Amino acid sequence: MATQNITFRIDQLNFSLVVGDIIYYTYNTNVTGNFEHANLSNTRRLGKVVEIREVFTSRTGEGRFAITVQYDPAITTPPQGRVFVSFAKDKRVNTSSLLGYYASAKFVNNSTNKVELFSIGSEVTESSK
Q: Which sequence spans correspond to the domains of the chain?
A: 2-88
Q: 51-89 burial, b for 16+ CB within 10 Å, e for fewer?
A: eeeeeeeeeeeeebbebbbebeeeeeebbeeebbbebee
Per-residue model confidence as pLDDT tens digits over 82-97: 888 899 987 776 565 6
**Which positions ≥6 away from 83 have C-beta within 8 Å?**
25, 26, 27, 28
Backbone φ and ψ for 84, nearest 5 degrees, come out as -85, 130
Residue pair 17/32 in contact (Cβ under 8 Å)? The answer is no
Q: Is the pLDDT of residue 110 over 90?
A: no
Q: Is the pLDDT of residue 116 over 90?
A: no
pLDDT of residue 49: 94
Class of residue 21 by CB neighbours under 10 A (exposed 0-12, middle 13-18, buried 19+):
buried
pLDDT of residue 98: 59
Per-residue model confidence as pLDDT tens digits over 47-56: 999 999 988 7
What's the CA gap between 45 and 79, in Å, rounded?
A: 10
